[in-house]
Amino acid sequence: MNVRAQISMVMNLDKCIGCHTCSVTCKNVWTNRPGAEYMWWNNVETRPGPGYPRQWENQDRYNGGWALDGGKLKLRIEIKKDYKPPGLDDYYEPWTYEYEVLFSEKQTDQQPVARPISLIDGQPMDVSYGPNWNDDLAGTDLLLEDPNLDPLQKSIYAQFKDVFMMYLPRICNHCLNPSCLAACPRKAIYKREEDGIVLVDQSRCRGYRYCVAACPYKKVYYNWKTGKSEKCILCYPRIEAGQPTVCSLTCVGKIRYMGVLLYDADKVLDVAAEPDPTRLVRRFIDEVLLDPFDPNIVSAARSAGIPDDWITAARRSPVYKMVKKWQVAFPLHPEFRTLPMVFYVPPLSPVVTTFERTYGAKITDVFPRVSELRIPIKYLASMFTAGDTALVEQALKKLIAVRIYERSKNVAEPGLADKAKQALAEAGLTEQDAEEMYRLFAIARYEDRFVIPTNPKRYVNQPQLKAGMAGLP
Amino acid sequence: MRRPELLFPGIALAVAVVLAALGIVVVTAQESAVLVKFVNGSLPVDPASPLWPKPADVPLTSQTLVYPLAPAVENRAVSVAAVHNGTHIAFLLTWKDATQDAAKPGGLDVFPDAVVVQFPVSRAQLPYICMGTVDNPVNIIYWRAGVGVENLVAGAGYGLSPQQREALGLQTTPTSPVELLPDSAQVVQAYAVYKDGAWYVVLIRPLGSVHPLMSSLADDFSAAFATWDGSKGERGGLKATSGWVQFRLERRIFAAPQPTQPAPTTMTATQTSATTVTQTYVVETTPAWAWVVIGVLVALLAVVAGLALRRR
């Protein structure tokens, strides 16, 4: 066992209101620079939809991530021999508006118009695509480009348009098996040993863009001005000081949670090479992620040099609870085999609202048949569990059981207390679990949502770091 | 009685013979050199200028790469002509490329067409052809379409102490085996034209060196070349490289050419067929007879050792 610690994140999609505050604050802090105008280290997608860059999940188009080749992990760019990164058309041409006109225009009968101008060359342009173009019906036709919709769902969606929707905020997943890192021939990308943050060393990067092509989430971006690639840095200067990332801090819906996860680095490659993709998430949670309450794991963590305050933080970690303890949060597209360390609680609300008397209904009535749900569980499973619908179902059952339980405490409805007990039992939760989940999901305070130990720079005296090397070998 | 250790003297003898033979072979292989013609006054920046001599074709082979990069198999060529005027030297590099790929604002998927010329920094012996080694670095002129030209050093980085690196104007910690020389050494100019499916790139630099890690070309020198075809996604190690090519400077010719002097025409006869030198071209300065002596000595030692062992 080789225990490592990583700062990771959970996003509770139930609470995302799609306000894009995370994206905008991230941009203001990190990417309001020339060459980075088109980059959104954090972006929010309205799903179903093509996402940003367009159809990023379609690896037949972008060749990102890993695939098994004769049972062995191989980069898709290597298998396909296609190393082409996305072009500006695949993202979008960034623009602003010619606001100066509003001040300088002479008085006429018409109001002056601030026309869109390109942020690349400053010329007037027609805006025809954007980073979330399908949102608010701007590009409804594009909804059907979503790679997670199967043909049947597509035909239903084409008929009814608004059958379901959800928001999907995305950052770099700071994966345990990062394909961007593996693809870099310059070894410019490294995963920090102390907190697992994946970074691009700007002094080593030569702008070859293999990482851009190899990242299945398309979260490495090429800066055409500097000629180098860059990506989300998980706000590491803030993390080192024990503060949450900017996107987490400014999140209006308070959907984001950050904390320590302990994992077994020896298991990473074995699990990533699991032949059956639907087993990836289960094995990831069971074998790679570790229980910080297990004395054997704690002693292994100590001997691996993980400080006590990090182990304590791992026990208090909201991420640990949601991902490992209750198993209600899942990685995005585990079938890309990078073992992403940002997790999502699948959205429940749109499911619930389809049933008129949800709260009164027996939990077994709520989930009678997967095909009857408004957000098709298949869609969520395609996104978060590589198609394992049972995992998504059990997570949604837990979420709904907690709601029924909380309702039974506050609403005097005959028989509700029994229903709550039954729901909890069916979801496999105790009352204590339900209380804790309620606290964390509904009324968590800053210090509950963000349990981030400071970085004591414990590797600073290691000579190999002084020699200019860092990260995993 | 057969003893396995008796084999070793025999092997040593064989190696010695091969080594000696190699020494002779290497040194006796006489390559023709590309002549760097002398021009009076300013050097041509126009590829069509009549001042350029007939170019020599240098064959290029795609570099063999390892996972995760694609091993390319392609052979192409770059035509090289060079002139000097006593202070500066100009190279005209011409190669065919069906598509013009130049870096541009917002060009996220554009890989620029590029060319490099690589020179040994040291005159003692030719460096490792693949961008030098710590002991024996190379100086590289790197031109990229839409980006411009850089004067680089490769190989030196990790062999120098921080103090030495600071004195040389380099970043204290090396981040790459290939590094940009300091601003004071960015003395290369480039003029590029893309016409009729071919690049014409003129590179001009001083004949002498302005930095300890920049090559001096004031005497005869060697150079190697590489090109990148951006439309094929070539970048970094995905490129086609040449072996070392020798260049000979034409000596200054004064106003009245004298027939007694070696006529330039005789030299131009050799310049058209540049042959590349293989990487086994190890020691340039050791003469042939030294190799023979070394070989014989090694052979003698081997024989003596063998006899000693047998006596025991």
> Cα torsion for A307, A311, A313, A317, to the nearest 10°?
150
pLDDT exceeds cutoff 80 at B267? no
Residues B257-285 as b/e (b if ≥16 CB within 10 A, e otherwise) read: eeeeeeebeebeeebeebbbbeeebeeee
pLDDT exceeds cutoff 50 at A50? yes
The string of pLDDT tens digits covering residues A120-163 is 999 999 998 999 988 866 677 787 888 888 776 777 676 665 56
Task: Read off the pLDDT of each residue in B58-84 and give the average, rounded to a whole number.
Answer: 78
Any chain B CB within 8 A of the CB of A444? no
Q: What letter represents residue A118's amino acid?
A: S
Any chain B CB within 8 A of the CB of A415? no
Task: Read off the pLDDT of each residue in B206-225 and give the average, rounded to a whole number.
Answer: 94
The string of pLDDT tens digits covering residues B276-299 is 444 433 345 567 888 899 999 999
pLDDT exceeds cutoff 80 at B19? no
Residue A41 tokens read as 């280290």
B129 and B271 assigned to the same domain: yes
Task: Read off the pLDDT of each residue in B188-194 and give the average, rounded to a whole number.
Answer: 97
Phi first, then psi, for residue B244 (nearest 5°) are: -75, 140
Left (φ > 0), alpha (ψ -120 to 50) or beta: where does B196 sit? left
How many structural domains compose chain B? 2
Residue A76 tokens read as 């898709």
Residue A411 tokens read as 């609403």
Contacts of A254 (CB under 8 A, 6+ apart): A15, A444, A449
Residues in chain A closer than 8 A to B106 (CB atoms):
38, 88, 93, 120-121, 224
B20 and B36 assigned to the same domain: no
Residues A365, A356: contact at Cβ < 8 Å? no
Bond before A53 cis per omega within 30 degrees? yes
pLDDT at residue B23, as a whole number: 42
The string of pLDDT tens digits covering residues A336-374 is 999 999 999 998 765 444 444 444 554 445 444 444 556
Interface test with A, best of B108, B144, B152 (most A CBs within 10 A): B108
Task: Read off the pLDDT of each residue in A78-97 and give the average, rounded to a whole number.
Answer: 94
Most confident of A98-102, A204-208, B197-201: B197-201
Task: Read off the pLDDT of each residue in B211-235 and give the average, rounded to a whole number.
Answer: 93
Q: Is the dihedral of CA A293, A298, A299, A300 positive or negative?
A: positive
pLDDT at residue B291, as a whole number: 87
Any chain A CB within 8 A of the CB of B67? yes
Answer yes or no: do A224 and B106 touch at CB < 8 A: yes
Among candidates A89, A199, A183, A170, which has minimal Cα distance to A333? A170
B109 and B205 assigned to the same domain: yes
pLDDT at residue A374, as a whole number: 64
Indicate whether B281 belongs to any domain.
no
pTM confidence score: 0.82
Residue B27 banded pLDDT, cuts 50, 70, 90: very low
pLDDT at residue A149, as a whole number: 83
Nearest CA in chain A to B144: A227
pLDDT at residue B253, as a whole number: 58
Phi first, then psi, for residue A152 (nearest 5°) are: -65, -45
Residue B70 banded pLDDT, cuts 50, 70, 90: low
Residues A16, A170: contact at Cβ < 8 Å? no
CA B205 to CA B151: how far, in whole Å?
A: 10
B292 and B159 assigned to the same domain: no
Indicate whether B48 belongs to any domain.
yes
- Domain ranges for chain A, please list them: 1-14+66-84+174-455
Among candidates A239, A170, A210, which has minimal Cα distance to A64? A210
pLDDT at residue B251, as a whole number: 84
The string of pLDDT tens digits covering residues A390-443 is 999 899 889 888 888 988 898 887 888 888 898 899 889 999 999 999 999 999
Among candidates A127, A229, A171, which has minimal Cα distance to A10? A171
pLDDT at residue B290, as a whole number: 84
Task: Read off the pLDDT of each residue in A317-322 and give the average, rounded to a whole number.
Answer: 97
Size of interface A-B (CB pairs under 8 A): 70
Indicate whether B266 belongs to any domain.
yes
Among candidates A201, A168, A198, which has minimal Cα distance to A47? A168
Among candidates A190, A184, A191, which has minimal Cα distance to A206? A184
Higher per-residue pLDDT: B1 or A48: A48
pLDDT exceeds cutoff 50 at B44? yes
Answer yes or no: do A185 and B173 touch at CB < 8 A: no
DSSP E strand stretches across A70-122? 72-75, 95-97, 116-118
Any chain B CB within 8 A of the CB of A86? yes
CATH of the domain at B211: 2.60.40.1190
B247 and B312 assigned to the same domain: no
pLDDT at residue A433, as a whole number: 95
Domain boundaries, position B269: 31-276
CATH number for domain A1-14+66-84+174-455, candidates 3.10.20.30, 3.30.70.20, 3.40.190.80, 2.40.160.60:
3.30.70.20
- CA-based nearest distance B241→chain A, Å: 18
CA B288 to CA B306: how far, in whole Å?
A: 27
Residue A100 tokens read as 């100066």
Residues A400, A423: contact at Cβ < 8 Å? yes
Indicate whether B142 belongs to any domain.
yes
- HSE-CB for A172 with a 13 A CA cutoff: 33
* Three-class DSSP category at A221: strand
Interface test with A, best of B109, B130, B172, B232 (most A CBs within 10 A): B109
Task: Tell me the residue length of chain B.
Answer: 312
ipTM of the complex: 0.84
pLDDT exceeds cutoff 50 at B257? no
Please report where in the chains the tokens 């999940």 appear, as a residue: A57
pLDDT at residue A324, as a whole number: 97
Task: Read off the pLDDT of each residue in B257-263 and give the average, rounded to a whole number.
Answer: 41
Average pLDDT, chain B: 81
Any chain B CB within 8 A of the CB of A91? yes
CA A118 to CA A106: how far, in whole Å?
A: 24
Residues A44, A170: contact at Cβ < 8 Å? yes
Please report where in the chains the tokens 């290939």 appear, as a residue: B178
B141 and B102 assigned to the same domain: yes
Indicate whether B271 belongs to any domain.
yes
B270 and B293 assigned to the same domain: no
Residues A400, A434: contact at Cβ < 8 Å? no
Indicate whether B282 belongs to any domain.
no
Average pLDDT, chain A: 88
B108 and B257 assigned to the same domain: yes
CA A8 to CA A318: how far, in whole Å?
A: 10
Please report where in the chains the tokens 């008397």 appear, as a residue: A357
Answer yes or no: do B176 and A203 touch at CB < 8 A: yes
Indicate whether B182 belongs to any domain.
yes
CA A435 to CA A52: how far, in whole Å?
A: 37
B90 and B153 assigned to the same domain: yes
Please report, for residues A12, A284, A406, B234, the alpha-carbon distance to residue A402 in angstroms, rounded to integers and kept in the order given.
15, 25, 6, 55
Please report, for residues A5, B59, B91, B198, B229, the alpha-carbon distance to residue B56 in angstroms, rounded to integers and kept in the order given.
59, 10, 11, 16, 20
pLDDT at residue B141, as a whole number: 97
Residues in chain A closer than 8 A to B233 (CB atoms):
83-84
Nearest CA in chain B to A468: B173
Left (φ > 0), alpha (ψ -120 to 50) or beta: where does A174 sit? left
B22 and B62 assigned to the same domain: no
A42: number of Cβ within 10 Å: 25
* Three-class DSSP category at B62: strand
Residue B266 tokens read as 């005789």
In chain B, % of residues over pLDDT 90 = 56
B5 and B145 assigned to the same domain: no
Indicate whether B198 belongs to any domain.
yes
B17 and B81 assigned to the same domain: no
Q: Containing H/E element for B9?
A: helix B7-28
pLDDT exceeds cutoff 70 at B45? yes
Phi first, then psi, for residue B311 (nearest 5°) are: -60, -40
Any chain A CB within 8 A of the CB of B174? yes
Any chain A CB within 8 A of the CB of B162? no
Task: Read off the pLDDT of each residue in A167-196 and give the average, rounded to a whole number.
Answer: 95
